[in-house]
Every structure is written in structure tokens, then in C-alpha cells.
Amino acid sequence: MSNHQPPCDDDAVEPIEVFPERELDLRAGADACYKCTTCETSCPVAAVDDEFPGPKFQGPEQWRLKRKEDADIDDSILSCSNCLRCDSACPSEVPLAQMHNEARGEYVDEQMNKLSREYLRNRILANYGLLAKVGSKVPRLVNFVMGLSVTRKLNEKLLGLPSEREFPAFATQTFREWWRERGGAQVESDDKRVAYFHGCYSNYNTPEVGKAMVRVFEEFGYEVLVPEQRCSGTPMFANGMLSDARRAAETNVESLAAAIDDDADIVASCTSCSLSLRKEYPELFDIDRIDDVSEHTYEALEYLRIHEDLESAVTDAEVDHPALAYHAPCHARNQGLDRQAVELFREVDGVAIEDVGDSCSGISGTYGWKAEKYEASMAMGEEMFHHMEQSDGEVGMTECPTCAMQMEHGTGYEIKHPLQVLEAAVVSE
Amino acid sequence: MGLESDVLVIGGGLAGTTAAISAAREGADVRLVSHKKSTLRQSSGLVDALGYVPKREDGESDLGSGSGSGSGSGSERASESTLRGPVVNPYDAIEDLPEEHPYSIVGSEAVAEGFALFDELVGDAYRGGHTDSNALVPTFGGTVKPTARYPAATAAGVASDERPMFVVGFRSLSEYDAGALADGLSASGVPFPVAGAEVKFAEAFRDDAKITRFARALDDDEPIDGVPARKALTTAVEPQLAEFADSVADASDIRVGFPAFLGEDRADQIREELGDRLGAEVFEIPMGPPSLPGLRLEDLLLEQLDAAGVSFETGVRAVDRTVGTDGAVETVVVDRNGTGVPYAADAVVLATGGLIGKGLQSDRKRVTEPVFDCPVAHPADRYDWFLDDAFGDHPFARFGLATDNRLRPVDPSGDGEPEYPNLFAAGAVLGGADVAREKSASGVSLATGVVAGRGAAAVANDTTLEANR
């Protein structure tokens, strides 16, 4: 068919090939941006960092600029914390997060000095799972050494990790070790089955979250599978390490697709993990069955709310629990999950829960773990710290492990995961 | 199954929020889902009822113009041939609207109820509820706009007030030009002396700093080159204001208009402090997006949703529905980043917006409503969808759903039977109104939100009764 046909003739007009086929064409997204700048008013980084040109620049404008072959990607892309608030705010469906991830990946691949301290540090942060795997072999020793102030000073000098931050302690027994020790699933079922994507943090650092997830799902009669898995890739996207992320994604998609074939849906307890499997994977990679995995993935509490009468289950419960200051992680917001814990637990006798507002915690995964970003990270979190301190209790709650770190760091509060509170409410001793 | 509610509202704008709260007040258990952050944050924060109506065929112009102003307004310029106004009393003008207009369908009583509910929800954050007449409020384009309710922060700027007005602008804030704004107001015949000047204040910020950045600096009274922001701002304004004071007869009663960036969280306090320092009443001139008055209204309404016990979530898009054997909507399928999640409800309110809000979609051949596939009437030839005159009476502006008198979508070419017995529609997804030219968007959302929300609750309550029987 010729390209000179009248454009409104019928549906069969062939598109004109403007860009090489293998390249991801984000032009439609760039064209859809009408510069209303709502994304910029939602960006927590732009709110505290005057040097950061904001999501509209990082997304559509950067994309247009780099169409010119001699234009480099602006290094301000490394200041985007990947919170995805711009994505939730855009009224025009510009794929901002996808554009940022692409730009960051290209910057890191083509412009970043691979021998620089910054690259090395980012690579280590992005591959936290690997570090944790080694560290958790000798958790007590590592916890002791990492806790020493001399180590923290050294980390800042050598690696650019902020000395103010306390390194998260490794659990003495990982979730997977516990899982093996208890002999795997205690409930078998052919029609109620979930595959648990625990992610790195609940495996190495907070296995109690993973245990709570297993106990709660078993209480509702689910058979829980714990398939082989690697890091979800979130810290890798956020640092532009797309080839690392792709390798992890390939492993995860293969293993989770096999679980889907065993009639399981996938549930995650970390909202960044569920977001990554659902949204970022299909946006960034073309891997066999990646859409299948995306369609079958849920956040754990979300899954129960959809498939069980969770409201009745918790309404009947009575828990003696200190008041909770709840912070909704940005990645929960992006999935429409920011209200579910508040709405669910306010029905429970003995649980008082207070939403501490809509600010970003400021740590945004690895962002707050960079010495040069530490101050901005704390400035973003200020509103949350303030609201937490104003709230009744001295226990916080959130789904996101790094938000939890920030909440604890800023207020000294103990932080719970909603699954732990749910465990207290519904699991019989 | 977990995600069930009596009433499910789709859309988080003014119409959806109003519908959700109305339904909740009827005792329904309500859930609201919205694809993106509320479009209220793009809105000016002004809440209009009806500012312009179609010209009468007999050429009569009995509505006249309020306070002799409005001749310079954009809408007037745009629509000289087909519209008249500004309307003094929106309720008197409703009878001049076509019968397919949402106001004609729900009636002026529903419009009054919509505004009464709004007044109750926003409390003293808004003014204008004392009268049925429109107020004329200056806009950043240098026009005056007929509006029914306006933020308290804007109150001192109304055009019917005869006090001298000084308008402040900033060179680095390109959204408006204070001098041009003042000239525009003068040209539109406002009954007071007005002048504008640009002052130095914003230079300390980044060149392309956003108005939210200024707002935050004023909220926290952040030091700017060592001087607290509020003091720095008034110091910048004082000399120019003094010059203006010399030029007017009564300098003791000047009001000073700023672009609407005077704080987000502590706006009242900031306005008062600036007023004290300047010895004048300070007000805000609403601006385009992103808009602080819009953001403040969004916050206010979210609080009210929470207080009404409505569950709500953003970031999720309704994409499809399942239908029961009785032809009623059974569930609405919502996309959560790739995963389809069914939400069951006894009744549903569709408040997803029009073509701009993406509640309606169009391609080269047709206009569709994507969630429920309700038919949308439009000319078959797309060249008949619009006019060549950019500000003209475009047919596409009226595209939207046709409904029965309870706001249930019907096939416009059919027998008037509702598409689904338990689906109601509210706001910009409805057809028959050119809300942009009429200045009726908020009022249509409020009035139809109340009617649709109540209708949905009635269906749900009926079902609940049956279930309990």
C-alpha cells in the first residue's frame, strides 16, 4: 500500500517507519506531553533540589534532545530517585518512568566512567542482593563491623555511602533458611496456591515479614510456593544498570512463569518488587512470558482483599496493638495501594492507625544511600518525620523496606509491615 | 470475594467526589477509583455555575452584563456571535439552555443542591455562597470571569469591589504580566483604578522555578539571601506600591493582588502577614496549571472523602466491565499496572471526564466511551465535528453521553431505555454542554454528581433491602 493514501481512509493504513525497528520508540509518549508541568509539582526531588530540572525535562524533553545524534544525555538524570510520582500525576499518559529508565540506562552505558567511585558505589548499591548474600553468611560479624563508626567513616570516604546511615542488620537466619528448616509449605491445596516473591530484603534482613506472609496465607488455606528468585531489579533500574536488571529479570520471569503453570499467582510483600514485576519488566524488557508474569502478580494484602473476605476476618479480630503511624510508599501509590492498609486496619478493634500524609519518605531505595544525596533525602523526609512525631504512637508501619529504614532513621520508631499486623489479627496461635 | 462495595465511583474529579459523598450520605458503602491524581490540581480553583448562555433566537439580550464589565473577556471575544453574558444569575438562565443540557435534565433544584453540598464541604475556605448571583473575579489573562464560588484567598479581588487595585508580577514568573493584566482589567471597564508592576523577588530562585517552589519558600518563610521570604517579598513590593498609592485618591484602602502562589499549607497566615506588612488587603489571582488553589481544593475534598468514610484509590484505571444475566453491571475491571482486578458493586457512577479528561476517546472515525461502551452521538463525517473558528461553537465540545432523567446512559438513537439499570454518569462525560464556553464545568459536575450519587445509592439500597428480605 502506498503512503499517499488519504489518512482517514480506513484502519489498514500502514505506519511509516520513522525510527529503526530495534530501538524503543518513545515518540508517542513525548508527543503526548503538553507541558502542563503537573509532574514537576509532584516530584519530591525537584521540591528540595534546585539543581534538578524535574521529570518533564528528564522524560519527554531529554528524549527529544537525544534524537539529535550529537546530544549527550544530561547527567541530572542520575538525580531522579525513581519514585514514579510523576507517572501517577501525568494526566496525559506520558510514560515518564519508562523514559527515565531508558535515559538513565543509556547514560550509564555510554557516558559514565566505569572506573569512577560513583559507578562502583552505584553498582554495589544496585546489587544489594549479592552483597546481602555474602554478608548474611556471617550476619553477626558483618553487623558488628558495619556498625562500627570507623567502618561508616571509611564507607563514606571510599564508597560515598553516608556515614549518618546505619547499615541494615542481617538476620541471623534468612527467610529461605527458615523455609527449608520448617519443611516448606504446611498447607497443600490444588485451587488456592501462591508463589511468594520475597525479594532480597525480607529474605536477608526482615525474615519476620516473610514468615508473617506465609502464616497469614496458610491461615486462609493457601499453599505457598517459594520459587527460586533474584533481586526484582528495582535498585538496578534506579541506577541505570539495565543489563544487570535484565539478567535478574530473565531468572525471575522463567521461575515465576513455571509457578504460574503450577496454577499459582505471584504475591510480593514489598511494593517495589510487585511494581517491578508488573510494570517495569514489560516496559523495559522483551522476555518470553513477561506479560504473563505481569498479569499474575499482586501485592500480598491486595491479593487477600481481592480473593478473601478480609474485611470480615479482621472485623472479628481483636488485637492489642500500639497506635501505628502509617506511611504509604511511593511505589504503593503508583499501584493504587496507598490506602488499603489504613482502610483495612481502621476496622480492627485495638488497632489505631494514622496516615502520616502524602510526602515521599525521601530515601527512595538507593537514592538516600548516596552521600551526596543524603541531605536532600532527609529534607524530603522531613514532612513525614514531623507527622510521625505528631501521631499518637511510637510505632510506624509501611510496606517498603527502605521507607522503613528512613522512618526509623528519622524518628527512632520501630517499624512494622502490614502483614505483621495482619498476622497478629488473624493467625490463631 | 473482597473488593465489593454498594456504590463504585469511577473518577476522582469534582463530579466523582461529589457523587461519592452524596452516595455515602444515603448510607451506601462507597469506593472511588481514579486513574491519575485528581484533575482538580489543574483547575483554577474557581467553581463556576453558568457564565454565558446561547443567544436567543429573537435576539433579545435581557440578561445584560453585570457591573458593566466583561466586554474584554476572552469568552466574550470568542463567542460574540452565539453567546451572551456574563450571566448575572445562573439559575435564571438555566431555562435558556437546550433540553439535552445536563442542567436541563437535572433541573435547577439539583444545581442548587450541588452548590449547597459544595458550600458545606469546603466551609469558610470558599466565598460566594451568600448569593445566587455570579461574582466577577480577575483572571491571570487580564479578564474578569463570572463564577459562583471563589477561594477566600481571592475574595478581596472581586471586580464589584471599588477599592483601588495594585497587581504584583515577577519577571521570572512568565505565567502572567502584571502590567498587561492591569491594562486588561481597565479595558474591561472595572469600576476602580488598577495598575500593575513587576518587582524583583523571584531572582533568587532557579530560572525555571515552579510556583510550588515559591509556595514552599513562603510556607516555611525560608531565608532568601538571608532575609525571610515573606519579608523579602514585601520589601520588594513596597516601593512600587508606594508609587501607586501616590496616584490614587484614597490610598488607605488599596488591595494588592499576587499570583496564586502564596503558600500551600499556611496560605491564610501568609496572606495576613503580607497584608500587615504592606498595610493593604492581599489577595490571590487564580492561575493556570499547576495551580495552588486547585491543589488546595483537592486536599480539602480528599479530607471530606475520608471523613465521609469513602474508600478511595488513585493510580488505577477502569478498563472493562462484566455484566450479569439481568443486564446490570456486575463488576468493573480495574487495571493495576498490568494486573486486572475486578471490583464488584451494586451500582456504578461513571465520572471519568470528557475528551480532555480521557473519559471519552476518539480516533479518526468515531468517539467512544471505553469502559462500558456506551454509545456517543456524533456526526459520521469528522469534518463536521469542528468549525474553522478556533473560538467557535464546536460540536465536539458537546460530545458525550445521553442519559435518562436519572442520569443513566441511554442510546441516543434508541428507545430511551438505560444501557445498564445500575450505571449512572456525572460530570464532563455527559454530553450536551459546552462547559468551557459557558463556564459551567464545576456546576455541571456538582449538580450531576449529586443526582448520580444519590441515584446509585438508591439502586444499591434497594438491592440491599432485597438481599435482607
Q: Tens digits of per-residue pLDDT, A212-266? A: 999 999 999 999 999 999 999 999 999 999 999 999 999 999 999 999 999 999 9
CA atoms within 13 A on the CB side of B406: 20
Mean pLDDT of A339-368: 92
Instruction: Tell whether the model's pLDDT for residue A17 goes beyond 80.
Output: no
Residues of B with CB under 8 A from a CB of A: 1-3, 33, 36-37, 39, 41-42, 205-206, 208-210, 212-213, 216, 289-290, 295, 311-316, 334, 336-342, 357-358, 364-365, 382
**Is the model's pLDDT at B313 over the cut of 80?**
yes
Q: Is 80 exceeded by the pLDDT of residue A19?
A: no
Mean pLDDT of chain A: 90
Which position has the higher pLDDT, A145 or A222? Answer: A222
Q: What is the pLDDT of residues A258-305, one digit of tens each?
A: 999 999 999 999 999 999 999 999 999 999 999 999 999 999 999 999
Please give the angle made by the CA atoms of B4, B347 and B465, to the nearest 5 degrees: 85
Angle in degrees, CA B112, B417, B364, rounded to 5? 85
Q: Do B315 and A333 touch (CB under 8 A)?
A: yes
Is B290 in Cβ contact with A41 (below 8 Å)? Answer: yes
Residue B371 confidence (pLDDT): 98
pLDDT at A3 over 60: no
> What's the pLDDT score for residue A122?
93
CB–CB of B289 and A337 under 8 A? Answer: no
Nearest-CA distance A151 → chain B (Å): 36
Phi, psi of A169 (to 5 degrees): -75, 140
3-state secondary structure of A318: strand
β-pairing, B223-224 with B227-228?
A: antiparallel
Beta bridge partners of B6: none
pLDDT grade for A70, boundaries at 50, 70 and 90 = confident
Q: B-chain residues within 8 Å CB-CB of A42?
A: 37
pLDDT band at B170 (very low <50, low <70, confident <90, very high): confident
For chain A, positions 87-116, list CB contacts with chain B under 8 A. 88-91, 93
Contact A277, A252 (CB under 8 A): yes
Distance CA B172, CA B392 (A): 34
Tell me which residue of B297, B264, B302, B353 sits closest to B43, measured CA to CA.
Answer: B297
- What is the pTM assigned to this prediction? 0.90
pLDDT at B72 over 50: no
Q: Which amino acid is at B375?
A: P
Q: What are A23-58's pLDDT values in tens digits?
A: 567 888 889 998 888 898 889 998 888 889 999 999
Shortest Cα distance from B131 to chain A (angstroms)? Answer: 34
- For residue B420, give the DSSP letter: S
Count of CB pairs separated by less than 8 Å, A with B: 112
* C-beta atoms of B36 and A336 within 8 A: no
Q: Which three cell numbers stand for residue A21?
A: 525497528
Which residues lie below 8 Å from residue A265, measured CB to CB, with a gap of 6+?
A: A193, A194, A195, A296, A297, A298, A303
B334 neighbors B50 (Cβ within 8 angstroms)? no
DSSP output for A204-222: HT-HHHHHHHHHHHHHTTP
* Cβ contacts of B311 on chain A, cutoff 8 Å: 339, 343
Residue of chain A nearest B334, judged by CA positions? A336
| Residues contacting A238, CB < 8 A, separation 6+ | A81, A82, A104, A126, A364, A365, A366, A367
Whole-number pLDDT of residue A142? 87
**Cell numbers found for residue A390:** 505528631
Q: Which of A38, A302, A337 has the CB atom closest to B41's CB atom? A: A38
Query: Rounded to a whole number, what is the distance in Å from the CA of B418 to chain A's nearest CA?
Result: 30
Q: Is A294 within 8 Å of B365 when comparing Cβ atoms?
A: no
CB contact under 8 Å between A296 and B205, yes or no, is: no
Judged by CB atoms within 8 Å, which residues 282-321 of A form the interface with B? 282, 291, 294-298, 302, 304-311
Chain A contact set for B342 (CB, 8 A): 306
Nearest Cα of chain B lies from the Cα of A137 at a distance, in angstroms, of 36
Interchain contact, A297 vs B216, CB within 8 Å: no
- On chain B, the residues whose CB falls within 8 A of the CB of A47 are 212-213, 216
**Share of residues in chain A with pLDDT > 70 (%):** 94
- b/e per residue, B212-235, with b = 16+ CB within 10 A? bbbbbbbbebeebeeeebbebbbe
The C-alpha R_g of chain B, in whole angstroms, comes to: 23
